[in-house]
Structure 1
Amino acid sequence: MLELRNISFKRGNLNIGPINFSLHPGEILTICGKNGSGKTSTLLALNREIKPESGEIAINGRCLKRLKSLEISRYTGYVQQELPEPLGLNVRDIMEINGFTRKYDYHDLYNSMEMCGVETFIDRDYSTLSGGEKRMVMISAVIYQNPEYIMLDEPSSFLDIDKINLLIKILKDLRSEGKGILLVLHDINLAYNISDSIILMKDGKIISSGTRDAAVTIKNLEAAYDAKFDSYMSPEGIRFYPLEFRETVKDIGNL
Structure 2
Amino acid sequence: MLELNDIRFRRGELEIGPVSMELSPGEILSICGKNGSGKTSTLTAISGYIPLIGGSIIVDGDNLRKLKPSFVARKISYVQQEIPDPMGFTVRDVMEISGFTRMGGDEEIVDALKLCGVEKFIDRDFSTLSGGEKRMVSIAGGIYQNADYIMMDEPTSFLDLDKISTLIKILNSLKEKRKGVLLVMHDINLANRISDSILLFREGKVVAFGDKEDVLTIHNLEMAYNAKFAKYSSPEGIRFYPVEMEDFTDFPEEAREGPQHS
TM-score bracket for the superposition, by shorter chain length: over 0.9
Whole-angstrom CA distance in 1 between matches of 2:168 and 2:44: 23
Q: Which residue of 1 aligns with 2:80?
A: 80
Equivalent residue runs for 1:159-170 within 5 Å? 159-170=159-170
Residues in 2 aligned to 1:226 and 1:99: alpha-carbon distance in whole angstroms: 41
CA distance in 1 between partners of 2:100 and 2:199 (Å): 32
1:33 maps to a residue whose letter is G
Where does residue 250 of structure 1 map in the other structure?
A: none
Which residue in 2 is equivalent to 1:124?
Answer: 124
Say whether residues 1:114 and 2:143 are aligned partners: no
Question: Could you tell me which residue of structure 1 aligns to residue 158 of structure 2?
Answer: 158
Q: Who is 1:92 aligned against?
A: 92
How many angstroms apart in 2 are the aligned matches of 1:148 and 1:100? Answer: 15
Partner of 1:71: 71
Shift of 1:104: 2.6
Equivalent-residue separation in structure 1 for 2:224 and 2:4 (angstroms): 21
Q: What percentage of residue pairs aligned between the two structures are identical? A: 58
2:258 is aligned to: none
CA–CA separation in structure 1 for the residues paired with 2:136 and 2:234 = 28
Q: 1:105 Cα shift?
A: 2.1
Distance in 2 between the 1:173 and 1:241 partners? 29
Distance 1:108 1:52 in 2: 35
Moved more, 98-107 or 120-129: 98-107
Q: Distance in 2 between matches of 1:47 and 1:70?
A: 12
Partner SS for 1:51: coil
1:180 counterpart = 2:197: no
- With 6-15 and 150-159 compared, the bigger mean Cα shift is at 6-15
Q: TM-score, normalised by structure 1?
A: 0.95
**C-alpha separation in 2, matches of 1:104 and 1:234:** 43
Partner SS for 1:243: strand
**Aligned position for 2:253:** none
- What are the ranges of 5 or more consecutive residues in structure 1 without an aligned counterpart? 246-255
Deviations 1:171-230 (A, max 9, x none): 011001000000000000000000000011001011111111000001100000000000
What aligned pairs does 1:219-238 form with structure 2 within 5 A after superposition? 219-238=219-238
Residues in 1 aligned to 2:112 and 2:213: alpha-carbon distance in whole angstroms: 32
Partners of 1:176 and 1:211 lie apart in 2 by 19
Alignment coverage as a number of residue pairs? 245
**2:97, 2:242 → 1: CA distance?**
43
Displacement, 1:244? 4.6
SS of match in other structure, 2:227: coil
Q: Which amino acid aligns with 1:74?
A: R
Q: CA RMSD in A?
A: 1.0
